[in-house]
């Protein structure tokens, strides 16, 4: 339904543009956001299914660190700069305007992909990944702000729906395309294909947004007029409990797919095409089970219970693999992780955004902090898996699962104590 509506909006938009009809901001948002975000995100996700494998091939010791930890540095570079420059982009969007921010970000990402592909050297590659992150940080801020500036509530809702549908579709399709291309033309060459794809996205965006003003309005919602300092917000027991006992551990466990699985599969002589198909399998469960599980579980259980169920499923997935490491148990783990992701992110977002302290502080600012913690988790995750692997696959993965289980227990205990308090 979302896909059909998006195509309908785009077709009507192009027809109006062809006839030189001036369109309002809301009409532009709903027509443009899906194809533009999809192309740019597909380019970014083309690398996901094989990047850990490629890094191991070009890796040379960095600062005498063990390979398991040193490999995490280039893997974390993009996420780290994305976090920093998404934050910076939030300040620049008013000064530059959304179009300049969007196309500047896309151009910087294009340059980053070219750097990654130009020389098989781990230092150059790390720099390239960091440059991609700078650009994608700006792109994400521009696209999400592009949606949030819409005045019509339905347009706002549809815009976010189309963006996240594009996001998950791009993960699946980007990984499959990238993995297949890596198998046929080589892993390094995929970075040039991704750069060309971004160039196509820029060209499409320049056409679709021609003569469209994308200025940021100075409106400030009442929820942003916060009287709570950031320090007071961050030391709130519910905020500490959410971030450190359930949110970050859950995101770290998800890196079993992004960081560990490609390397494990490669060691077992699995092609990048098959690895990409495993990513697709995981994504299918996320995309198609989400609309079914999330609303029904919300009717059956509280938000807190749904978060705990999702985290327990992830612990089970990693624990199952740790007890008997094999390709079969790895694929089963990916399926279980996909089932967990299909409803857990929704439960986490609803729980967090309905906390009293979040509403007092300001939902937009609170979500900015949440995004920062999310990126911190993704920066840390490759290193966590690298350190764990020093103890061996079974013991390392089991250690991650058990640590997450202990932290989950602390989250539950803390909730009970807060109720009594």
What CA–CA distances, in Å, run from 163 to 143, 170, 282, 337? 8, 10, 19, 22
How far is Cα 338 from Cα 345, in angstroms, rounded to an integer? 11
pLDDT in tens, 172-203: 889 889 988 998 899 999 999 999 999 999 99
Q: How many residues in total does the chain contain?
A: 421
Token match 């990047």: residue?
Answer: 51
Reduced DSSP (H G I as helix, E B as strand, rest coil) percent helix, strand, coil of the chain, to 5: 85, 0, 15
* DSSP states of 353-405: HT-HHHHHH-HHHHHHHHHHHHHHHHHHHHHHHHHHHTT-HHHHHHHHHHHHH
* Residue 24 confidence (pLDDT): 53
Contact criterion met (CB below 8 Å) for 343 and 351? no
How far is Cα 238 from Cα 151, in angstroms, rounded to an integer? 33
Residue 247: enclosing H or E segment and its boundaries?
A: none
Burial of 293 (0-12, 13-18, 19+ CB in 10 A): buried
* Residue 221 confidence (pLDDT): 43
pTM of the complete model: 0.74
What CA–CA distances, in Å, run from 393 to 91, 318, 388? 43, 11, 8
Contact criterion met (CB below 8 Å) for 27 and 11? no
* Residue 128 confidence (pLDDT): 96
How far is Cα 172 from Cα 170, in angstroms, rounded to an integer? 5
Contact criterion met (CB below 8 Å) for 376 and 82? no
Contact criterion met (CB below 8 Å) for 166 and 38? yes
Tell me, letter by letter, the H, E, C secondary structure of 327-361.
HHHHHHHHHHHHHHHHHHHHHHHHHHHCCHHHHHH
Burial 140-170 (b: 16+ CB within 10 A, else e): bbbbbbbbebbeeeebbebbebbbebbebbb
Task: Please give the radius of gyration of the chain, using alpha carbons only, rounded to the nearest integer.
Answer: 21
* Residue 30 confidence (pLDDT): 60
Tell me, letter by letter, the H, E, C secondary structure of 138-186.
HHHHHHHHHHHCCCCHHHHHHHHHHHHHHHHHHHHHHHHHHHHHHHHHC
Domains delineated in the chain:
1-219 (1.20.1250.20), 222-421 (1.20.1250.20)
pLDDT in tens, 85-132: 887 877 777 778 888 889 999 999 999 999 999 988 989 999 999 999
DSSP character for 222?
A: G
- pLDDT per residue, tens digit, the chain (421 aa), is 444 444 444 445 555 555 554 455 555 666 677 788 889 999 999 998 888 889 988 888 777 777 777 788 888 888 889 888 887 877 777 778 888 889 999 999 999 999 999 988 989 999 999 999 999 988 988 887 777 666 666 666 566 666 766 777 788 889 889 988 998 899 999 999 999 999 999 998 888 777 665 555 544 444 444 567 888 999 999 999 999 999 999 999 988 988 889 989 988 998 888 888 898 888 888 877 876 787 788 788 888 899 999 999 999 999 999 999 999 999 999 999 999 988 888 788 888 888 889 888 877 678 778 878 888 888 888 888 888 878 788 999 999 999 999 999 999 888 766 665 5
**Degrees to nearest 5, angle at CA 322 with 284 and 267:** 75
How far is Cα 295 from Cα 1, in angstroms, rounded to an integer? 17
* Residue 28 confidence (pLDDT): 65
Contact criterion met (CB below 8 Å) for 25 and 98? no
Question: CB 216: neighbour CB atoms within 10 A?
Answer: 16
């Amino acid at each position: 339904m979302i896909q059909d509506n998006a195509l309908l909006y785009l077709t009507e938009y192009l027809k109006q543009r062809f006839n030189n009809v001036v369109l309002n901001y809301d009409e532009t948002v709903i027509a443009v956001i899906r194809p533009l975000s999809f192309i740019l995100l597909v380019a970014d996700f083309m690398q996901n299914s094989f990047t850990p494998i490629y890094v191991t091939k070009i890796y040379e010791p960095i600062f005498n660190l063990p390979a398991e930890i040193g490999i995490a540095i280039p893997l974390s570079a993009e996420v780290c700069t994305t976090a920093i420059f998404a934050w910076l982009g939030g300040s620049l969007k008013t000064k530059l305007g959304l179009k300049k921010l969007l196309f500047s970000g896309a151009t910087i990402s294009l340059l980053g992909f070219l750097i990654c592909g130009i020389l098989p050297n781990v230092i150059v590659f790390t720099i390239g990944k960091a440059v991609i992150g700078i650009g994608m940080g700006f792109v994400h801020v521009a696209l999400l702000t592009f949606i949030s500036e819409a005045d019509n509530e339905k347009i706002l809702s549809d815009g976010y729906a189309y963006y996240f549908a594009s996001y998950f579709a791009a993960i699946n399709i980007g990984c499959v395309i990238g993995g297949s291309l890596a198998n046929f033309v080589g892993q390094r060459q995929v970075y040039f294909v991704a750069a060309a794809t971004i160039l196509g996205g820029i060209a499409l965006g320049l056409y679709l947004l021609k003569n469209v003003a994308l200025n940021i309005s100075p409106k400030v919602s009442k929820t942003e007029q916060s009287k709570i300092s950031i320090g007071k917000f961050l030391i709130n027991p519910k905020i500490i409990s959410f971030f450190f006992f359930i949110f970050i551990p859950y995101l770290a466990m998800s890196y079993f797919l992004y960081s560990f699985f490609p390397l494990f599969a490669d060691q077992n002589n699995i092609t990048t095409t098959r690895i990409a198909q495993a990513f697709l399998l995981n994504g299918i469960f996320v995309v198609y089970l989400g609309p079914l599980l999330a609303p029904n579980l919300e009717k059956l259980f509280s938000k807190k219970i749904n978060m705990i169920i999702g985290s327990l499923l992830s612990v089970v997935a990693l624990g199952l693999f740790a007890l008997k490491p094999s390709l079969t148990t790895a694929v089963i783990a990916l399926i279980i992780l996909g089932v967990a992701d299909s409803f857990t992110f929704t439960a986490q977002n609803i729980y967090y955004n309905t906390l009293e302290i979040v509403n007092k502080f300001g939902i937009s600012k609170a979500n900015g902090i949440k995004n920062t913690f999310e990126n911190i988790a993704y920066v840390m995750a490759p290193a966590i898996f690298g350190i764990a692997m020093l103890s061996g696959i079974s013991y390392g993965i089991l250690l991650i699962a058990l640590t997450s289980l202990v932290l989950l227990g602390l989250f539950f205990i803390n909730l009970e104590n807060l109720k009594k308090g």
